[in-house]
Amino acid sequence: MPDEAIDYSDIPALSPAFWAAHRPARAEPKAQVTLRIDRDVLDYFKDGGAGYQTRINDVLRSFVAAHTSDRR
């Protein structure tokens, strides 16, 4: 069935209040830290644009996951 054939008329619209109350929950809150990183490493991540801190976190998380499974 193509999307155009679906009848959405009986589905109520969701208000902004609904979306404010139903945000996805994070597994754990992130901690704010001060960290010293070599300039070339920081530049590498910053050159990727916005979200560089998230990318650094993703790399660290991958490292931890790889090394945690080795210990079990």
Range of the domain at 44: 3-70
Contact predicate 45/56, CB 8 Å: yes
Q: In the predicted model, is pLDDT for residue 71 greater than 70?
A: no
Quote the pLDDT of residue 20.
Answer: 82
How many structural domains compose the chain? 1
Q: At what angle do helices 39-46 and 52-71 cross, to 10 degrees?
A: 110
* pLDDT, tens only, 2-21: 999 999 889 988 888 888 88
